[in-house]
Chains A and B, each alone.
Chain A
Amino acid sequence: GAVVSQHPSWVICKSGTSVKIECRSLDFQATTMFWYRQFPKQSLMLMATSNEGSKATYEQGVEKDKFLINHASLTLSTLTVTSAHPEDSSFYICSAPVAGGGTDTQYFGPGTRLTVL
C-alpha cells in the first residue's frame, strides 16, 4: 500500500515556542492531505484539509493562526503549531488519500507525539 511518513515522531518543546511537523507521501502524489489530532484514548478529530497550492480548509473550532498548514508540494504538507501551550500536547496524525477501486482510501502517517512543557 501507499506510504505516508511523518517527522518528527516525537517532540518535546517549551511553552511559547513553535513546532513544525512534516507529512510526506513517499510513493505517490497527494494534492490533498488531512491533519488529525488524537487525544488519549479518544478517536481522531479532523483539524484541517491541506490542499496543494492553495489555502488549507480548517474545521470549525480549529484556530488557523495557531495551526499553520502549508502544502508546498505534491508530496509534502507541514503543520506548524505556533506559540505552543501545554493544552496543545497531543498526538498529531496526517493522512493522504489514494484513489482506486471506485473509492478513495486514506493512508495514515505514523503520527507525531507533541509534548509541550
Chain B
Amino acid sequence: AQSVTQLGSHVSVSEGALVLLRCNYSSSVPPYLFWYVQYPNQGLQLLLKYTSAATLVKGINGFEAEFKKSETSFHLTKPSAHMSDAAEYFCAVSEGSNYQLIWGAGTKLIIKP
C-alpha cells in the first residue's frame, strides 16, 4: 500500500536560510509525486509535481524538489526563505490516473525574522 511520510510536523528556519522539507514515500509502482502549499484558512495550491520526466522539478515561488528513487524521497527545497513562505506544506503521491492522492501529514514551515 502507498504511504507518505513527512519528517517533522514543524520546521523553523531563519529568513534567508535554506528550506528543506522532507518527504518519503512507499509505492509499488513508479509514482507521481506532488507538493502542495496551504496558507492559513485557504485551500491547497500546487507547488510542483514529478511525473517521471526530469528528476529535479522546479516549481513556483522558487521551490524545487528532487525525486530520488533509491531513497524513495521527494524532498522540497528553497535556497533562501522568505517570510511569505510561512505555511503548511503537504507531500502527496499518486500511483496512476485514478486521480486519488495519498497525503503526508503536513509540515508547518515557520520563518524567523
User: Known interface pairs A102-B51, A103-B49. Does A46 touch B100 (Cβ–Cβ under 8 Å)?
Assistant: yes
Assess whether B11 is interfacial by the CB under 8 Å rule: no
Partner of B44, one of A32, A42, A93, A97: A93
Q: Which of B41, B46, B103, B104 contacts A1 (CB under 8 A)? A: B46
Q: How far is the CB of A22 from chain B (nearest CB, A)?
A: 14
Which residues on B sit within 8 Å (CB–CB) of A101? 51
CB-contact partner of B101 in A1, A41, A106, under 8 A? A106
| Residues in B8-40 with C-beta less than 8 Å from chain A | 32, 34, 36
Separation in Å of the B7 CB from the closest CB of chain A?
A: 14
Q: Name A6's closest neighbour in chain B (CB-CB).
A: B43
User: Is B45 close to A, CB under 8 A?
Assistant: yes
User: Given the interface contacts A42-B105, A43-B90, does A107 sit within 8 Å of B46 by beta carbon?
Assistant: yes
Complex partner residue of A105 from B34, B43, B100, CB under 8 angstroms: B34
**A113, B51: Cβ atoms closer than 8 Å:** no
With both chains docked as a complex, state the minimum distance between the C-beta of B39 and any C-beta of chain A, in angstroms: 10
Measured as residues with beta carbon below 8 angstroms from the partner, the interface class of chain A is: 20 to 34
The reply to whether A42 and B106 contact each other, CB–CB distance below 8 Å, is yes
| Min CB–CB distance A43 → chain B (angstroms) | 5
A112 CB to nearest B CB, Å: 9
Give the chain B neighbours of A104 by CB distance below 8 A.
94, 97, 99
Residue positions of B touching A, CB distance < 8 A? 32, 34, 36, 41-46, 49, 51-53, 90, 94, 97, 99-101, 103-106, 108
List chain A positions with a Cβ less than 8 A from chain B. 1, 4, 6, 32, 34, 41-44, 46, 49, 93, 95, 97, 101-111, 113
